[in-house]
Amino acid sequence: MNGVPLTHMIIVSTLLFFIGAYGFLTRRNLIAMLMSVELMLNSVNINFIAFNKYLFPDNLDGLVYTIFIIAIAAAEAAVAIAIIINLFRNTRSIDAEYADKLKN
C-alpha cells in the first residue's frame, strides 16, 4: 500500500470530528447543528473504512458498519428535521436561542 499512509487518514478524520464537535457547540441554528453532527458521523465513517482497508483487508466488517451508520444517520436526520419543522410551526424560529422555554 504505497501512497497515502494510514496516519493521514486518521488525521483527516480526527480534524473533521472536532470541526463537527466545535460546530455543534457553537452554532445556534438548529439545521447547522444537525449538519455538524452529520460531519462527526462522516468522520467516523472515514475511520472505519481506513482501518478496514489498511489493517484488516481480509474481511468487510468495517465497511458493513459504515453502511449501517449511513442508513441510521439518514433516519436520524429525517426525524430531527421533522421535529425541527414542528418546532418552527410552534415558535416561528429555528434558532436555539429562542428554544428556551424549558427552564426552572
Q: How far is the CB of 43 from other proteins (least distance, A)?
A: 8
3-class DSSP state for residue 95? strand
Residue with smaller CB distance to other proteins, 3 or 58:
58
Positive/negative CA dihedral, 27, 29, 35, 38: positive
Q: Which residues is 29 bridged to in the sheet?
A: 95
Closest CA to 68 of 33, 41, 36: 41
Binding site for other proteins (CB under 8 A): 17, 20-21, 24, 30, 33-34, 37, 40-41, 43-44, 47-48, 51-52, 55-56, 61-62, 64-65, 68-69, 72, 75-76, 79-80, 82-84, 86-87, 89-91, 99, 101-102, 104
